[in-house]
Amino acid sequence: MPINFVIDFYSILPLTCALFVMFFGVFILLKDYHSRMNQLLFGFCFSMFFWMFGTFMMFATRGNLAAALFWDRFVYAGVVFMPPFMHHFSLVFTQSEGKQKKLLFVNYFLAFCFLLVSQSRYFVDGLYYYSWGVHSQARILHHFFMGYFFLGTGIFFTNLLRYYRAINDKIIRLQIKYVFVAFAFVIFIGGSAYLFAYGIDTKFPFSYVTGLIFPVMLFYSVSRHHLLGAKVVATEILVGITEFLTVMQIFFSSSLSEVVVRVLFVFFVGIIGILLIKSIRKEAARLEEISHLAMSLEKANLRLQELDRQKTEFLSIASHQLRTPLSILKGFIELLSDGAYGKPTRKMKETLENMDESNERLVKLVDEFLDITRIEQGRTKFTFRDCDINAVIEGVVKELRDRARDKGIKISWENKKMPTVKIDDEKIRHVLFNFIDNAIKYSSKGTIRVESEREKDGIRVTVKDNGIGFDKKDEVNFFQKFYRGENVQGANVNGTGLGLYVCRKFIETHGGQVVAHSRGLGKGGEFNFWIPLIPPPQPENFIASSPPDVALPASEIKSVG
């Protein structure tokens, strides 16, 4: 007797879901067929395919009792393996594959047992016709299967919940949520299909929609949170869904012209989808490359910070070790000069003076290195109090005026009325001394102008000279440690390139900023700083701490330039 196929919306729906979930399973497997997680997901999707495709055939042949019953038993050939596949997947996903071996074996064993009994009339027999479909009726062995099905899948949810409580990583916890909800949707919403076996009509095919929802939810988890390592899965599934649903529309065409139009539309959607996927893949590849570069830069930065810390510690140790012999050497030079070991000759005195001068230079350099280590290790003490900035400027100008006069340089400063400012006057004096001292070092004529003015809620102090100037590169780098501008190499001025760095740190601790500017080489330079009238809140006996950048002492200013 020939079998009449019934094709309508209710039979097309499970067929659509069957093909869609199978597409998802194959796609995941092809992403990485060596991955155990991907293999198990493919197995689960294959079980769902049996369920959905068998349901389609059962609906299509519902006019024939034997055929419909055969296809419903075909459904159970896949469904019985859902519990062990889910159990096994949970162990791989939670990185516990070595555990629950005996329980997993029992789960697979029971699945094979129910595979055999599902083909007997003691499992399902007869048909129940409801408002829009048909289902075989449950018998005694089916009741045992129901207990096994929900207990076997329950192990999956238990394992995921335990893993969720034990893990702290936010991304992994989010993955667990998506996986939990996706499988729960299949088991509890899809499980409503069992109600038909017990003569209960749900009035709507809720269970078969899970074949669409489950892949979409897992695809979202994959693409957004890299569950399976895919990069552009979200776009691929969106294009796949659109193309698949568009193809399904062809089967509902009522005329040849409508078929042609829909086929052309499918072709057009396919071309657009392919171009979109290619574009997203390129973008994902660029983002991945940028991510790798960022990680490399982060590692390099951490390495540089560690090297900088080690350098600071070395400077601290070396400086302290050098300080003692230099102090002893200075003492012996003084004793020799004073005649403690016999009256020195004139030539000896000249030599001792040169030795003393060189020794002083070394002591000064060691002190600069010690200043750096104190700043970078956060051991520089600051004492803030209300001060007259004019008094600080005047003191520095008086101290350096004779040195400038010896070079034929004039220091010009106008005492303007300024508000009281809360500062560490020693640190600000240190900065001013460096600015003016550098201006003298790198100028051979003209006037050095020192200017002060009220600006916003603070004070700006500027030192201008007519010296050798500098370019834009120097402007950017002057306040970095150990930096000396190329134009100062021929200026015959010794320096370590540390002074301006220390100045910058002192001013930043006051909540201010330092600036260097020049119109170009040979056109003079300008160094200025701005500090607020009231510095940022500082605890009493504040000790400044500095990030691992570079520290520099006060006497070395334009040496940086």
228/30 Cα distance (integer angstroms):
11
Q: How confident is the model at residue 298 (pLDDT cuts 50, 70, 90)?
A: confident
Residue 109: what pLDDT?
A: 95
Instruction: Compute the distance between CA of residue 388 and CA of residue 452 in angstroms, rounded to an integer.
Output: 12
Element of type H or E holding 126? strand 124-129
Helices (H), 167-255: 170-184, 194-197, 206-225, 233-250
Q: Give the residue-averaged pLDDT of 345-358.
A: 84
The whole-number pLDDT of residue 75 equals: 92
Q: Is 51 helix (H, G, I), strand (E, B) or coil?
A: helix
Instruction: Give the pLDDT score at 461.
Output: 93
- Residues written for the chain: 561
**Which of 374, 433, 436 lies closest to 554 in space, CA to CA?**
433
Q: Which of 196-200, 224-228, 357-361 has the highest mean pLDDT?
A: 196-200
Mean pLDDT on 468-490: 73
> What is the β-pairing status of strands 380-381 and 134-138?
unpaired
CATH code assigned to 9-230 = 1.20.1070.10
Vertex 37: Cα angle to 36 and 42 (nearest 5): 95
Q: What percent of the chain has pLDDT over 70?
A: 82
Integer Cα distance of 472 and 309 in angstroms? 29
Q: According to the CATH classification, is domain 308-376 in 1.10.287?
A: yes
- Confidence at residue 273, expressed as pLDDT on a 0 to 100 scale: 77
pLDDT at 553: 36
Quote the DSSP letter at residue 231. S
Q: How far apart are CA 213 and CA 219, in angstroms?
A: 10
Beta bridge partners of 513: 530
Q: The domain 381-544 is classified under which CATH number: 3.30.420.40, 3.90.1640.30, 3.30.565.10, 3.40.50.720?
A: 3.30.565.10
Kindly indicate the confidence band of residue 244, based on its pLDDT and cuts at 50, 70 and 90. low
Mean of pLDDT values over 268-294: 79
- What average pLDDT does the segment 442-467 reach? 89
pLDDT score, position 229: 46
Work out the average pLDDT over 40-48: 91
pLDDT at 3 over 70: no
Longest dimension (CA), the chain: 137
Highest mean pLDDT among 22-36, 294-308, 435-449: 435-449
Using DSSP's 3-state secondary structure scheme, residue 513 falls into strand
Contact 78, 48 (CB under 8 A): yes
Residue 375: the pLDDT is: 73
Mean of the per-residue pLDDT values for the chain? Answer: 81
Q: Which of 26-30, 116-120, 237-241, 364-368 has the highest mean pLDDT?
A: 116-120
pLDDT category at 269 given cuts 50, 70, 90 is confident
User: Higher-confidence residue: 486 or 526?
Assistant: 526
Extract the tokens encoding 9.
């919306």
Of residues 215 and 256, which shows the higher confidence score?
Answer: 256
Q: Domain residues of the chain, as ranges?
A: 9-230, 308-376, 381-544
**Average pLDDT estimate for 507-512:** 91
